[in-house]
A = this chain, B = another copy of it.
Amino acid sequence: MQHPFDTAIALEPAGQDRFFGRTSPAYANMVGPFGGTTTAVLLNAALRHPQRQGDPIALTVNFASPVADGDFEIEAVPVRTNRSTQHWSLQLRQGAAVAASATAVFALRRETWSAREAVMPPDMPAAAALARAPFQALPTWAQRYDMRFTEEDALLQFDGQEHAHSYSRMWVRDEPPRPLDFAALAALCDCFLPRIFYRRHRPAPVGTVSLTSYFHADASLLAAQGEHHLLGVARAQTFRNGYFDQSAEVWGQDGQLLATTHQMVYFRE
């Protein structure tokens, strides 16, 4: 049986640079599908394109409107292919309207000097020592992730008490478990709860307008993660006049930084 994530990002070739897809009820959000699956299916069009070269290193998705439940078309154009990099322009359309536009950079990597600078939080209890967060009250997509928080990091209640920061950590993996790959990691980069919830401890209408993820892992490092939980750490930088940004890191086994991800989020009061 196909994993629900693979159903959500499935594409059917539809001529040169074109694919057909369809939203998946298993990843439904409040309105339309989870942005993470929209992100992943856009990336998947480049991953499955016959002219693909290398693996993704950077992906930006701009969410132009809610995606309506149902069919969509993706145009994936390799606008430039160099010796070691490939640049993509991607659009998800429903009828004549662009619902999401994106760019991606793929690269052929070589082994070089490497070094870590950001540090994995050293004091997070093991995933096995924490309970899975009960997300029955959240939209369906949140059930597709096994997220585990310490009491300190959990968003326990909307008591309206404004907090001094929005930093939080969680263990996260696909539910049911699924071996990690670029599409799954791209989706997971969008699964951090909106930082304004952590900051204000009250609900607010929010929507990601632009999401950028950088993939530091190559395919073999992703494969080495298997179905293990990954450690996600997120924080905001500033909230101002209807928009805030948030940045996150996704850590794998042995303290490897798999991805860094940033987004600009719309909010209403």
CA separation between A10 and B266, bound complex, in Å? 31
**Taking the complex as formed, is A247 at the interface, i.e. its CB lies under 8 A from any CB of chain B?**
yes
User: Contacting chain B: which of A35-43, A77-85, A123-131, A182-190?
Assistant: A77-85
Is the CB–CB distance between B209 and A58 below 8 Å?
A: yes
Is the CB–CB distance between A64 and B82 below 8 Å?
A: yes
**Distance from A253 Cβ to chain B, minimum over Cβ atoms (Å):** 15
CA separation between A112 and B242, bound complex, in Å? 6
Is the CB–CB distance between B117 and A85 below 8 Å?
A: no
Is the CB–CB distance between A166 and B117 below 8 Å?
A: yes
Which residues of B sit under 8 angstroms from A236, Cβ to Cβ? 117
CA separation between A202 and B97, bound complex, in Å? 49
**Distance from A132 Cβ to chain B, minimum over Cβ atoms (Å):** 28
Is the CB–CB distance between A165 and B117 below 8 Å?
A: yes
**Taking the complex as formed, is A199 at the interface, i.e. its CB lies under 8 A from any CB of chain B?**
yes
Interface set, chain A 216-269, CB cutoff 8 A to B:
216-218, 235-243, 245, 247, 249, 257, 260, 262, 264, 266-269
**Distance from A106 Cβ to chain B, minimum over Cβ atoms (Å):** 10
Which residues of B sit under 8 angstroms from A165, Cβ to Cβ? 117
Which residues of B sit under 8 angstroms from A238, Cβ to Cβ? 114-118, 216, 257, 260
**Taking the complex as formed, is A60 at the interface, i.e. its CB lies under 8 A from any CB of chain B?**
yes
Which residues of B sit under 8 angstroms from A199, Cβ to Cβ? 115, 117
Is the CB–CB distance between A113 and B239 below 8 Å?
A: yes
Is the CB–CB distance between B269 and A245 below 8 Å?
A: no
CA separation between A249 and B195, bound complex, in Å? 18
Is the CB–CB distance between A101 and B101 below 8 Å?
A: no
Which residues of B sit under 8 angstroms from A247, Cβ to Cβ? 247, 260, 262
Is the CB–CB distance between B62 and A109 below 8 Å?
A: no
10 CB contacts below 8 A, A to B, read A87-B98, A107-B242, A112-B242, A114-B238, A114-B239, A114-B241, A115-B239, A117-B239, A118-B237, A238-B257
For the A-B complex with A80-B98, A112-B269, A210-B214 known, give 4 more contacts whose Cβ atoms are closer than 8 Å: A64-B80, A85-B266, A103-B210, A116-B239
Which 5 residue pairs across A and B have the least CB separation, nearest first? A58-B210, A64-B80, A118-B237, A60-B60, A212-B212
